[in-house]
Chain A
Amino acid sequence: DQQVKQNSPSLSVQEGRISILNCDYTNSMFDYFLWYKKYPAEGPTFLISISSIKDKNEDGRFTVFLNKSAKHLSLHIVPSQPGDSAVYFCAARINNNDMRFGAGTRLTVKP
């Protein structure tokens, strides 16, 4: 089951620069997309989300972009901070049912 894909297992950026994490999906029925952040030995925590009727949602340093025609979404973090270093999971949901997760991208922000 590869409905949600994160093709980059890792990403390294310099503090202060932009981090761009990408996610692709195959199921056009997904109506809601979310990004979760996970630190070691902790459960994923919600970061930001976007409805399928929008193409952008911004919350402080975090912006999620949705391109429905390409079935692609991305998370932009700017400026990146060392505390942002974590594994980021893209997730997609259909009608309050199960949420499908990508494999995750490990972001490392270097001071």
Chain B
Amino acid sequence: EPEVTQTPSHQVTQMGQEVILRCVPISNHLYFYWYRQILGQKVEFLVSFYNNEISEKSEIFDDQFSVERPDGSNFTLKIRSTKLEDSAMYFCASVQGGEKLFFGSGTQLSVL
């Protein structure tokens, strides 16, 4: 079965540094999402992306965050200046146009 792939699986960074989390959604999917889960807490929506633009974003997704689909296959999440509270598991997801999201296995981001 096709799957969403995320790299790296673990990312350690210093506070204030920029990080880019990478995702390759399923090839014929049209909608792309980033979610995050802070340890022990719920899965939180960050942003949705459709037709090369952000269609919805949460209050978490402030000016420090940006997303990009630089080519036909990659979907990236950039955090410009990381904070300690950005430490979380970040999940990329995609959907063709129905309801069932396909998630990647996540990138564990640790900000020191």
User: Is A32 among interface residues, defined by CB-CB distance under 8 A?
Assistant: yes
Q: Are B56 and A97 in contact (CB under 8 A)?
A: yes
Q: Which of A14-64 contact B (CB under 8 A)?
A: 32, 34, 36, 41-46, 49
Which A residue's beta carbon lies closest to that of B104? A43
Interface residue total, chain A, C-beta cutoff 8 A: 22
User: Is A69 among interface residues, defined by CB-CB distance under 8 A?
Assistant: no
Q: Which of B58, B97, B106 contacts A96 (CB 8 A)?
A: B97
Q: Are B48 and A98 in contact (CB under 8 A)?
A: yes
Which A residue's beta carbon lies closest to that of B30? A96
CB-defined contacts of A99 to chain B, threshold 8 Å: 33, 45, 101
Which A residue's beta carbon lies closest to that of B43? A101
C-alpha spacing A32/B102, complex, angstroms: 16
Chain B interface size, as a band, is 20 to 34
Residue among B4, B43, B55 with most chain A CB within 10 A: B43
CB-defined contacts of B31 to chain A, threshold 8 Å: 96
Residue among B42, B45, B93 with most chain A CB within 10 A: B42
Nearest Cβ in chain B — how far from A1, in angstroms?
8
Nearest Cβ in chain A — how far from B2, in angstroms?
13
CB-defined contacts of A46 to chain B, threshold 8 Å: 100-102
Taking Cβ atoms with an 8 Å cutoff, the residues of A that contact B are 1, 32, 34, 36, 41-46, 49, 89, 93, 96-104
